[in-house]
Chains A and B, each alone.
Chain A
Amino acid sequence: MPVLVIAEHDNQALKPATLNTITAALAIDAEVAVLVAGYGCGGVSQSAAVIAGVDRVLLCDHESYLHPLAENLADLIAAIAGGYTHVLAPASTFGKNVLPRLGALLDVSPISDIVAVQSPDTFVRPIYAGNAMATVKTSDQKILVTARPTAFAAASAEGGAAAVEAVEPAAEPGDRVRFVGQELTRSERPELTSARVVIAGGRGLGSSENFKLIEELADKLGAAVGASRAAVDAGYVPNDYQVGQTGKVVAPELYIAVGISGAIQHLAGMKDSKVIVAINKDEDAPIFQVADYGLVGDLFDALPKLSAALD
């Protein structure tokens, strides 16, 4: 039996995390199907069909799925899960919201945030903010997994030729859950979790005004902007900038941490970056322990110099 991957998308385009999840699925089984549930999402199903390694695309195009509500999606996936050994979703706020609910419906104990597949029933996942790695084996007959996107390479978005078949929507859920609205952060910069370069600011920035120094540098490097929890809590930047144990996990080629002390909860979200740069005025800041290049100094002095050096 094949493995089912739940596509994350906004009815217009697939989210890149879907491609990483497909790679995780291919590590489990060679036969992979992708479910695209949404409304007016035919184009998304076409993109899913050409992803290398995908055998089959299931398209459920119905207004109940206009917004990715966990209640509706879990019911739908439960109705079709019978034909699959595993159901995978990205370990994003989307996947983390839906998959456990599906676990309840199927009486399965889900496995969160895997970073490696050892065998079809054995996985590696971080615990304690990544301070330990657990190898876990499940005895469930059906296996539900969320995969950490940064731990799996993206499947090639081209090269496949899967057939798209329509699936029936599950019963309509009525009025229990109503979508009210969304406030999405708009940015011309690359998406934080898939950017090649991330530059992140912490409490040391002192204000949202000062975050412009970070943004200026980000634009020169084509980087995404991230932040520590302290910077988000202080209102310098929106919540979705938060990198860490309970925010986003990133693993770019270059991560520049500015005015961030390096609490374990922050390190949990960035310590798998390839090259880490830390700029901090406190030479004892724990961030220097994970940095490849550390610069002790005042960020208000260093950032303008760094921007100038990149001109």
Chain B
Amino acid sequence: MKILVPVKRVIDYNVKVRVRQDGSGVETVNVKMSMNPFDEIAVEEAIRLQEAGRAEEIVAISIGAPQCQETIRTALAMGADRGILVETEQDLEPLGVSKVLRECVDRESPDLVIMGKQAIDDDCNQTAQILAGLLDWPQGAFASTLKFSDGRVDVTREIDGGLETLSLLLPAVISADLRLNEPRYVKLPNIMKAKKKPLDTIPIEELGIDVAPRVSTIKVEEPPARSGGIMVASVEELVDKLKNDAKVI
């Protein structure tokens, strides 16, 4: 099996993001960037499949500025075999990303695409499902367990009411939820090795895909602030406040 794993470079999840004064977006200058945590889970799952003898090759792919090479190198250091950067300075929305990925799928012919369920910057939770739709492949979104047999994969999905299991015919697109696995820490020797793994760069123009944005951001603002609360000294005082001031119990 060959696996394609798309990875996105995002502001690190530990960073407290700040909205720019001019309302054009959030501050990204001198801010720590990392691989989207859900994509790390996707890379980890692909590597475990390779370690279990189920996958022959893992290709990590990112779309964006040259700095996304770092994100791909992280995937290579975790254990992916090779990387592709589709280079563009433009911010693509999930539809555009999915169109680029479809083209990459056409070129690479993987049996499986595993990707994060959501990027923690735009919180869209769309790309896997759009890609599956464009390819007309089955989709297993929000996966927490995968089991492969006979050209199919059983995907257990985290849904609002609990868990659901679907059996998908391969090739398919899977999106990883938090409990699919716990990604490994990258070891230093592997970071060195990753530098020697192949990483191809393709300028996005070469693909001849229309990725012009459909959705424009008019402004970005701080969310409404909560008004300050008070500290209570005892359970009795808490119950009194909830009954008599807030009137919620």
Instruction: Point out residues on A near B: beta carbons under 8 Å.
Output: 67, 69-71, 74, 92-94, 96-105, 107-113, 122, 126-140, 175-185, 193, 197, 221, 229, 232-233, 238-240, 245-246, 248, 253-254, 264-265, 271, 274-277, 288, 290-296, 302, 305-306, 309-310
A108-B95, A128-B26 known; A239-B249 Cβ under 8 A:
no
B51-76 Cβ-contact flags toward A at 8 Å (1 or 0): 00000000000000000000000000
Shortest Cβ distance from residue B226 to the other chain A in the assembled complex, whole angstroms: 5
Q: Is the CB of A100 within 8 A of B178?
A: no
Q: Is the CB of B133 within 8 A of A105?
A: yes
Q: Is the CB of A248 within 8 A of B168?
A: no
Q: How far does the alpha carbon of A179 sit from the alpha carbon of B226 in the complex, in Å?
A: 44
Chain A residue with minimal CB distance to B213? Answer: A109
CB neighbors of A among B175-221 (8 A): 177-179, 213-221
Q: Is the CB of A183 within 8 A of B163?
A: yes
The A-B contact count (CB < 8 A) is: 250
- Taking CB atoms, residues of chain B closer than 8 Å to A245 are 120, 123
Chain A to chain B contacts (Cβ below 8 Å), 9 pairs = A67-B164, A97-B141, A109-B213, A109-B214, A113-B125, A133-B223, A138-B214, A179-B166, A239-B158
Nearest first, the 8 closest Cβ-Cβ pairs linking A and B are A104-B133, A100-B129, A109-B214, A100-B126, A101-B133, A180-B165, A292-B229, A305-B235
Partner of A128, one of B11, B231, B236: B11
Shortest Cβ distance from residue B5 to the other chain A in the assembled complex, whole angstroms: 19
Partner of B220, one of A99, A127, A180: A127
- Taking CB atoms, residues of chain A closer than 8 Å to B179 are 232-233, 239
- Taking CB atoms, residues of chain B closer than 8 Å to A92 are 160
Q: Is the CB of B130 within 8 A of A100?
A: yes
Chain B at the A interface: SS class? mixed
- Taking CB atoms, residues of chain B closer than 8 Å to A310 are 239, 249
Q: How far does the alpha carbon of A127 sit from the alpha carbon of B38 in the complex, in Å?
A: 16
Instruction: Point out residues on B near A: beta carbons under 8 Å.
Output: 11, 13, 16-17, 19, 26, 38, 93-96, 98, 117-118, 120-134, 138-139, 141-142, 144, 154, 157-169, 177-179, 213-223, 226, 229-232, 234-236, 238-239, 241-242, 246, 248-249
Q: Is the CB of A265 within 8 A of B223?
A: no
A101-B133, A104-B133, A177-B169 known; A136-B217 Cβ under 8 A:
yes
Q: Is the CB of B138 within 8 A of A177?
A: yes
Shortest Cβ distance from residue A306 to the other chain B in the assembled complex, whole angstroms: 5
Chain B residue with minimal CB distance to A265? Answer: B13
Given known contacts A176-B138, A221-B249, A239-B162, what 16 new A-B pairs fall within 8 Å (CB)? A70-B129, A70-B132, A93-B159, A109-B215, A112-B126, A128-B11, A131-B17, A133-B221, A177-B167, A178-B166, A182-B164, A233-B178, A248-B160, A254-B248, A265-B13, A306-B239
- Taking CB atoms, residues of chain B closer than 8 Å to A181 are 164-165
Q: Is the CB of A104 within 8 A of B229?
A: no
Shortest Cβ distance from residue A272 to the other chain B in the assembled complex, whole angstroms: 9
Chain A residue with minimal CB distance to B11? Answer: A128
Q: Is the CB of B160 within 8 A of A176?
A: no
Q: Is the CB of B235 within 8 A of A306?
A: yes
Shortest Cβ distance from residue B225 to the other chain A in the assembled complex, whole angstroms: 10
Q: Is the CB of B125 within 8 A of A96?
A: yes
Chain A residue with minimal CB distance to B248? Answer: A254
Q: Is the CB of B229 within 8 A of A294?
A: yes
Shortest Cβ distance from residue B32 to the other chain A in the assembled complex, whole angstroms: 14
Q: Is the CB of A126 within 8 A of B223?
A: yes
Partner of A136, one of B98, B133, B218: B218
Q: Is the CB of A110 within 8 A of B216?
A: no
Q: How far does the alpha carbon of A250 sit from the alpha carbon of B208 in the complex, in Å?
A: 43
